Structure 1
Amino acid sequence: MNDVNADASRFGFDQLSDLFLEVKSLTSPSELHGVLCGQLCAGLRPSQQTWLASAEEQLNVADGLTARAKSVLADFYDVVMTNLSSESLSFSLLLPDDDETVGQRTEALGQWCAGFLSGYGMGGIARENMSEESIGVLTDLAQIAQVEAEDLEESEDSERDFFEVCEYVRMATLMLFSEHQKDNADTAKQQGKSRPVH
């Protein structure tokens, strides 16, 4: 769970943390990954320029993104989109490595979920247009985003619980992505049928 199923030398949690520090941002890579996943799961397909503007706002960068940061984040978008679309279901959450405490990883998971909800909200999907399953998933993610991890003890039970919640969030993300991919395809199909014949 410590990379984005791609070149970990560029997109690992620690590598992105270092990049964010370079641009003087204290935002968690988990949160930004969540924001992007939320946008994509809501059916949004922002242009590179729109995504970079969104990332810059999320990172709260006073001096703007450097050329290197823009390059990495542009590639990051492509990688995340590819991972979500993969039929192998190998998508994973961007979280700290397993050598970090379970409390730190749980805190990052909460940040990921908060970011996801923020990104998903950008899609402006009305509640009446969502399935009951989707509504339930978003409610669960909102609860996970509020997690208190400070007093979490290091134990096998804590590790197991953390893994199970991560797996739930991972599969829930793929479900939401699939649902709105289908919605987009159906909409495109209907628009194609409704076009006048010249």
Structure 2
Amino acid sequence: MSLIDERQDFSAIADVYLLHGSMQSPAFLDGRLCALLALKDVSAEAWLDEVCSSLGVEQPRDSASAERLLGWRRQTLEALGASEMNYEPLLPDELFSLAEQARGLQEWTLGFCEVLEEVVDDDLRRQWSSALREALDDLPALAQMETDIDDSPENENDLFALTEHARMAAMMLYTEQHPGQPQVEQSDATLH
């Protein structure tokens, strides 16, 4: 299995960050990536430039790192456009504490909202459904949420619900900006 076929998860991308000397979380850039793909697309080259800029390097250290970073973009784009509606933000998983997971969601939301502020004007916003506007209006509060939380079932359930809200807001934005993609009404139809 090549890196291209391998699923890019939070730890794999975080490892590429570490390889480049960065202790940042990839969650922030994943939020940016999702919003960019939904609103105006971002080419593979532009994405690589953005990641390298964030990491403070001119180019990826090696071809395997470049492949993984490009696979991250491709995987996100495919998930956003898939009829299964299976997009998942790139966030710390259950191997991390709930506090780390909450910080990841907060960072993802900050990145997503940053692109909304850069790209969205009133004319575009008026074209969206009220459900989408409402979902997006809730996101800044997520960016301000308390992240110093204990590992408890109640906090885990709350964090799951907040993550699901962010995920659905991202999917709604993508589907409204890309009518006909995904073709959720036609489960038997292929997208090709």
Aligned to 1:105: 101
- Hey, what's the Cα distance between the residues in 2 that align with 1:108 and 1:56? 20
- Structure 1: state its 5+ residue gaps: 1-5, 185-198
- TM-score, length-scaled by structure 1: 0.79
Conserved 8 A contact 2:17-2:55: no
- Structure 2: state its 5+ residue gaps: 182-192
Q: Which of 69, 75, 86 is equivalent to 1:73?
A: 69
- Hey, what's the Cα distance between the residues in 1 that align with 2:31 and 2:120? 17
- Hey, what's the Cα distance between the residues in 1 that align with 2:31 and 2:113? 8
Q: Which of 140, 164, 167 is equivalent to 2:164?
A: 167
- Hey, what's the Cα distance between the residues in 2 that align with 1:100 and 1:62? 27
Quote the RMSD (CA, aligned, Å): 2.1
1:44-193 → structure 2 map (5 Å cutoff): 44-57=40-53, 59-62=54-57, 64-68=59-63, 69-122=65-118, 124-130=119-125, 131=128, 132-150=130-148, 152-182=149-179
Structure number with bigger Rg: 1
> Is 1:35 the counterpart of 2:40 in the alignment?
no
- Hey, what's the Cα distance between the residues in 2 that align with 1:109 and 1:100? 12
Percent identical pairs in the alignment equals 24
Number of equivalenced pairs: 173
